[in-house]
Amino acid sequence: MQRRHFLGALPVGLAAAAAPAALANPPAEPVYKGSVNATDFGVVADGSTDNAAAMAQAIDYCTRRELELVLPSGDIALFGGLTIDAVDGSEGIKIRGTDAGTQGSRLLIRANAPALTIKAQCTLENFGILGDAVALGAGREQQDGVLLYGVKPVDAQGRNPGIGNVYLRNIVFDGCQNSIHVFGVVFYSYFENIRWFACVNAHVNGAGVAATDKAGYALQFFQCQMTSGQGKYGFYLENAGSVILSDCMMSPAKLSENCFRLVSNAALSGIHQIDNTVFEASVKAALRIDGQGGACRFVFCSNSYFNQAGIDADAIELYDAEHLYFANCYISGTNAGLTFRGRAKRINLANCEFQIAGNVPVVRTLPGSSVHGLDIVAPNYDGGQRFLELGNAAVGQISRIHVSGGTLGVSATPVNCQPQDANKVMVLNTNNQQTRGGGVAAFGGGNSFAIAHGLLGRPARFSVTPANAAAGDAEIRYVEADESFIRVQCKNAAGGETKWAWQAET
C-alpha cells in the first residue's frame, strides 16, 4: 500500500463538527454470531459526522458482553476521544475493521485527545487511525492514535496489575502527535503488522508522567513497518520493562531524531531484544541507548541493520549502557559506526560488518567516556579509517578490551589508546600489523638489545633467534618483552654487527 493512496482517502476541507446522528437502539442480542456492527448504534462513516457518542455506546455495549465490534468501511470521524475500560467485571472487546487500507475502515480523530485510550484487555485489528496533529500542530499535543494507560487503582490486596493481553494487528497510524503512547504498568501487549506514516513526536512513545505513572511496560512488535514522511522518533522509551522487535522494517524512516532510543529501564526490567530488524535513514543515530546516568542495560541485537543519514551522526550511540550484545549486525553510515559517551560496561560485538563513509574511527570513545569490558569478535571492516579509537577516554577509565579475529581495515594503526592503557587492550589474530610483527633486527654489538616490536601492548607470544654468526657467538641468556620492546640479554659480548630474527604476536 503506497502512502499517497492512503492519504488520498482523507476528506478534503473537513467542515466544522456536524451534529451527531441520533443513536439507534442497540440490538437486544448480538448479531452476526457474536459480533455487533457499529452501524447498529448509529455510526456513519462519511468523514464528517461526529461518531464519538455512538462509538462510545457501542464500545460499552460490547465490553459488557465481551463481543466483537465490527466497523464499517469508510471514514469514521471522532470529535472526542474513546475509552476501552472494564465494565461491571467484564474487560474483553474486539474491534475489527474491514481493512486498514484506503477502501477499509478508518477512525479520523479530530480532537486534542487520544483516539482510543485503552485501560483493559482488548484486540484491535484491520483499520486505520488518522489524526490531524501533523496538519494543525498547536492544539493537538494530547492527540495520540492509541494510548495504553495501564495504571489502575490499587485493589484490596494492594495489587496494581496494570493491563494485559492487548493485541493490535493490521493497524495503520498516520498524522497523530504520537501513534502509540504507553503509560504505566502495561504487560503482554502485542503489535503485529503495524504500519506507521507521519507523526509529530514519536510513533511509539513510552514516556509517561513520573509523578503519577508507575513504570514497567512489556511490548512486542512483529513484522511492523515504518515509512515516515515526518516525525522525531521511531521508538522513544522511558522506564521500559521489556521491548521486543522482530522482523520489523524502519526504512526509510526519515526521522529527525533516532529510529530507536532507550532512555531508561524500569526498576524490575527484563531484556530488550531486536532481531531481523532494519533501522535506516534517521538524521541522528539509528540506535541510541541513553541511560542519562542510570545505565540502560540488557539489550540484545541480532541479524539487524543500523544506518543513519545525518552527516554528523553515528549509526549507534551508547551513553551510560551496560550488557549490550550485537551479533551478525550490519552497521553503516556517514560518520562513526559506534560511539561511546559516558560510561559503558560489558559490550559485545560478534561477527558484525562495518561500512563507514566518514573520516572518523569506526568504533570510538568521546572525551571523558569510560569503557570497562568491550569484546569485539571477528569484525569485518575493509576501510581506511582507524577501527578502534580509545584515546579519548578519561584517564584510567579503560579496562578489559579484547579484539580477536576478523579484519580491521587497512590503517597502519587500526587500534589506538593512551599509553597507560596499552596493557589493558589485547588484539589477537587480526589482519593488521598491530597484532603480529617480525623480521630481522641489526645492532652494532653489545650484550643487551631492545627490539621495537610496534605492537599494541605486551606480546603474548614472542621469540628471538640468532640471524648471523656474531649473534650466535653472543649466546642468548634470556628474552623478555614489555609494551614497546623485546629485550634480549646475552652471555658473551658480541663483536661486530649482530642480527636477530624475531617474531611477536599479541
Q: Which helix (H) or strand (E) holds 451?
A: strand 446-452
Question: pTM, whole model, 2 decimals?
Answer: 0.82
The pLDDT score that the predictor gives to residue 215 is 65
SS3 233: strand
In this structure, the number of other CB atoms found within 10 A of the CB of residue 210 comes to 10
Q: Which residues contact 407 (CB under 8 A, 6 or more apart)?
A: 379, 380, 381, 382, 430, 431
Give 267's DSSP letter: T
Residue located via cell numbers 496538519: 135
- Residue keyed to cell 487511525: 129
Q: Which CATH superfamily is domain 436-505 in?
A: Immunoglobulins (2.60.40.10)
Residue 43, pLDDT score: 96
Pairwise CA distance, residues 196 & 203, whole Å: 7
Q: Which three cell numbers stand for residue 41?
A: 448504534
Pairing of strands 485-494, 476-481: antiparallel
CA distance 464 to 479: 7
C-alpha neighbours within 13 Å on the C-beta side of residue 68: 15
- The phi and psi torsions of 11 (rounded to 5 degrees) equal -70, 145
Q: Distance (Å, rounded) from C-alpha 412 to C-alpha 433?
A: 7
Q: Which amino acid is at 357?
A: A
Q: Judging by beta carbons within 10 Å of its beta carbon (0-12, 13-18, 19+), is residue 395 exposed, middle or buried?
A: exposed
**Cα angle: 36, vertex 42, 48; to 5 degrees:** 125
Residue with cell 502512502: 3
Distant-in-sequence contacts of 466-470, Cβ < 8 A, 24+ apart: 466/498, 466/499, 466/500, 466/501, 467/440, 467/499, 467/500, 467/501, 468/497, 468/498, 468/499, 470/445, 470/494, 470/495, 470/496, 470/497, 470/498, 470/499
The sign of the torsion formed by the CA atoms of 150, 153, 155, 157 equals: positive
Cα–Cα nearest to 310, from 283, 337, 280: 283
Burial class (CB in 10 A: 0-12, 13-18, 19+), 5: exposed
Which residue, chain included where needed, has cell 576478523?
406
Nearest one of 370, 328, 368, 327 to 345, comparing CA atoms: 370
Cα angle: 254, vertex 258, 262; to 5 degrees: 150
Contacts (Cβ under 8 Å, ≥6 apart) of 13 = none
Nearest to 264 by CA among 215, 313, 204: 215
Please report, as a single letter, which amino acid is at residue 104. Answer: G
505, exposed or middle or buried, with CB in 10 Å at 0-12, 13-18, 19+? middle
Judge whether 178 and 212 are in contact, CB under 8 Å.
no
DSSP class of 3: H
Q: Closest Cα to residue 409, out of 377, 378, 436, 386?
A: 386
Q: What is the pLDDT of residue 221?
A: 97
- Domain boundaries of the chain, sorted by first residue: 436-505
CB 425 within 8 A of CB 455: no
Report d(CA 1, CA 344) in Å as an integer: 42
pLDDT by residue, tens only, the chain of 506 residues: 333 332 333 333 323 333 333 445 555 544 434 889 999 999 999 999 999 999 999 999 999 888 899 999 999 999 999 999 888 777 779 999 999 887 899 999 999 999 999 988 899 999 999 999 999 989 999 999 999 988 665 566 665 567 878 999 999 999 999 999 998 888 889 999 999 999 999 999 998 766 566 668 899 999 999 987 689 999 999 989 999 999 999 988 789 999 999 998 888 788 999 999 999 988 999 999 998 768 899 999 999 999 987 777 899 999 999 999 999 999 998 889 999 999 999 999 999 999 988 789 999 999 999 999 999 999 999 999 999 999 999 888 999 999 988 999 988 888 988 888 888 888 887 777 677 788 999 999 899 999 998 887 788 889 999 999 999 999 999 999 998 899 999 999 888 899 999 998 87
The C-alpha atoms of residue 88 and residue 56 are separated, in whole angstroms, by 16
Count of other CB atoms within 10 angstroms of residue 211: 5
Whole-angstrom Cα distance, residue 269 to residue 43? 42
